[in-house]
Amino acid sequence: MLEIKDLWVALNGTQILKGVSLTVGRGEIHSVMGPNGSGKSTLSRALAGHPSLEIISGSILFDGKNLLEMAAEERARAGLFLAYQYPVEIPGLGNSEFLRMAYNAKRVAEGKEELDAMEFEDILDEKMGLLGMDSKFRERGVNEGFSGGEKKKNEILQMAVLDPKLAILDEIDSGLDIDALKVVAEGVNSLMTKDKSLILITHYQRLLDYIRPDYVHVLSDGRIVKSGGPELAHSLEAEGYDAISAGAVR
């Protein structure tokens, strides 16, 4: 599904990622953990194609395609989805209008007909029901005045509507209380099938109690310094990032 090889990425002239390699297979859930400043968010933004990042070297294959040659919107239409740590507000743009715009962009890319507002409503109803979301989310501006929890839920709603092959959840747990975290995690779990892949970017092990990863990677100073199974997250929690990173270097 995703194959990152020796990826070097800079932001404003500062080297952030220093040779990241990561392979995510179909149906797999990977967790990338690491302390603040380790490059977690840069990795997710590089995958999504943020224009401010400079790709120095390396390669990324997504579903057999060269991701680095694709614009952000092409990556999205090919089935790559990034749930934001800080979802952006777009005042005045209705949430359902936005969702339909995104949904139709994907349909057109797949050679299908666009859906009109009425047809799309049915899809939206179903997905919102699935996530137990209030219908007020429909007409409000995209993330406009949403609470932290509502914004995260709205990210998962977008994921549900767009049905990506690979979703990258960037600190989806940050700013959520335990109840909201459960709802978001259940939502994500309900969307996962055996041919969908997931990358969970997180600082804390807490999220992994609700979404069980198959693999855990530790990112430190722009490199993956350790990889393992779910048990690695637990030892991280017990020993801290410093010990794990130091151990890896030793």
Chain positions contacting another protein, by CB under 8 A: 48-52, 71-73, 75-77, 81-82, 84, 87-93, 98, 101-102, 105-106, 109, 141-142, 158, 162
**Shortest Å, Cβ 113 to another protein:** 16
Contact assessment for residue 171 and residue 143, using Cβ atoms and an 8 Å cutoff = no
Nearer to another protein, 162 or 199 (CB): 162
Nearer to another protein, 27 or 141 (CB): 141
Q: Residue 146 carries which side chain, given as an amino acid letter?
A: F
Tokens representing 1 are 């599904």
**Shortest Å, Cβ 185 to another protein:** 22
Cα distances (angstroms) measured from residue 122 to each of 21, 80, 100, 115, 126:
41, 24, 11, 11, 6
Nearer to another protein, 42 or 245 (CB): 42
Separation CA 200–CA 216 (nearest Å): 9
DSSP 204: S
CB within 8 Å of 112: residues ≥ 6 apart: none
DSSP 215-248: EEEEEETTEEEEEESTHHHHHHHHHHHHHHHHHH
Nearer to another protein, 162 or 218 (CB): 162
**Shortest Å, Cβ 152 to another protein:** 14
Residue 191 burial (CB count, 10 A):
18
Nearer to another protein, 51 or 250 (CB): 51
**Shortest Å, Cβ 134 to another protein:** 21
Nearer to another protein, 10 or 109 (CB): 109
Q: Residue 185 carries which side chain, given as an amino acid letter?
A: A
Q: Please report how many Cα atoms fall inside a 13 Å half-sphere around the Cα of residue 85, on the Cβ side.
A: 14
**Shortest Å, Cβ 140 to another protein:** 12
**Shortest Å, Cβ 13 to another protein:** 14
Separation CA 109–CA 112 (nearest Å): 7
Nearer to another protein, 154 or 245 (CB): 154
Separation CA 27–CA 238 (nearest Å): 28
Separation CA 8–CA 17 (nearest Å): 5
**Shortest Å, Cβ 234 to another protein:** 32
